[in-house]
Each structure stands twice: as structure tokens, then as C-alpha cells.
């Protein structure tokens, strides 16, 4: 259940990171100017996906059971270390993007 909230947080933060980079007029430094509209559209998609994960997390909290996709296995990491590594891979770029540079 908590995995949905972590995923929602990460997805929304990626969306905010794209918006932050776009607002500082440095998005063209990261992607080709031809792709800038598509990257902005992907920020909206990430925000929608994050809100969907948040909604799913609240639904699962209210009903107190896991969603069963009938595939026969769990879709969540099996250990705390595995969860930390998995979510850390996504959180590291976010931390680096939002950390202020000491030279500025």
C-alpha cells in the first residue's frame, strides 16, 4: 500500500522537475528544441500518472486489501533493501536536480 504513495511522490516530483527546468529556460540545454513540446506533454503525463497512483493508494487504504491481477505473483519488491535500491534509483536524479549548486 505504501508503494503507491512512494510512486506517486516520485512521479509528481519528476513532473515538477521538468516544469522547473522549463521555467528556468534551460530545457533546451537538456533536449533538442524540437522535442521541448513533447517533454512538456510528458510532464503532464507524469503528473496524471502520479495522481492515479495517489488515488490507488487511498483506495487500497480504504478497502484494506491488495489489488489482485490474478497473475500469481507480487508486483512489489520483496525486501526493504530491494525497495530502497529500486526507489533510490529514481530518487537520486531528483535529489541532484533540486539541490542548489554551491557556485551560484
Give the pLDDT confidence of 24-45 residue by residue, as tens digits: 888 888 899 999 999 999 999 9
pLDDT of residue 99: 77
d(CA 10, CA 56): 15
Give the pLDDT confidence of 56-90 residue by residue, as tens digits: 988 888 876 555 556 655 655 567 888 888 888 98
d(CA 13, CA 45): 12
Q: Rounded to whole angstroms, what are the CA distances from 103 to 30, 76, 91, 99, 100?
A: 20, 40, 23, 12, 9
pLDDT of residue 102: 47
Kind plus residue range of the DSSP H or E element containing 88:
helix 80-98
Q: Model-level pTM? A: 0.77
Closest listed residue to residue 98, CA positions, set 45, 3, 1, 24: 24
Q: How confident is the model at residue 94 (pLDDT cuts 50, 70, 90)?
A: confident
pLDDT of residue 34: 94
Q: Which grid cell is 62?
A: 480504504
Q: How confident is the model at residue 12 (pLDDT cuts 50, 70, 90)?
A: very high
Closest listed residue to residue 54, CA positions, set 12, 93, 89: 12
Amino acid at each position: 500500500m505504501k508503494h503507491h504513495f512512494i510512486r506517486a511522490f516520485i512521479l509528481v516530483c519528476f513532473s515538477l522537475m521538468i516544469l522547473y527546468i522549463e521555467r528556468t529556460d534551460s530545457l533546451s540545454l537538456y533536449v533538442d528544441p524540437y522535442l521541448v513540446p513533447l517533454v512538456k506533454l510528458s510532464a503532464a503525463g507524469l503528473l496524471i500518472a502520479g495522481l492515479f497512483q495517489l488515488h490507488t493508494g487511498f483506495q487500497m487504504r480504504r478497502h484494506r486489501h491488495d489489488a489482485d491481477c490474478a497473475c500469481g505473483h507480487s508486483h512489489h519488491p520483496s525486501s526493504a533493501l530491494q525497495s530502497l535500491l529500486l526507489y533510490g534509483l529514481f530518487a537520486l536524479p531528483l535529489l541532484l536536480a533540486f539541490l542548489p549548486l554551491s557556485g551560484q
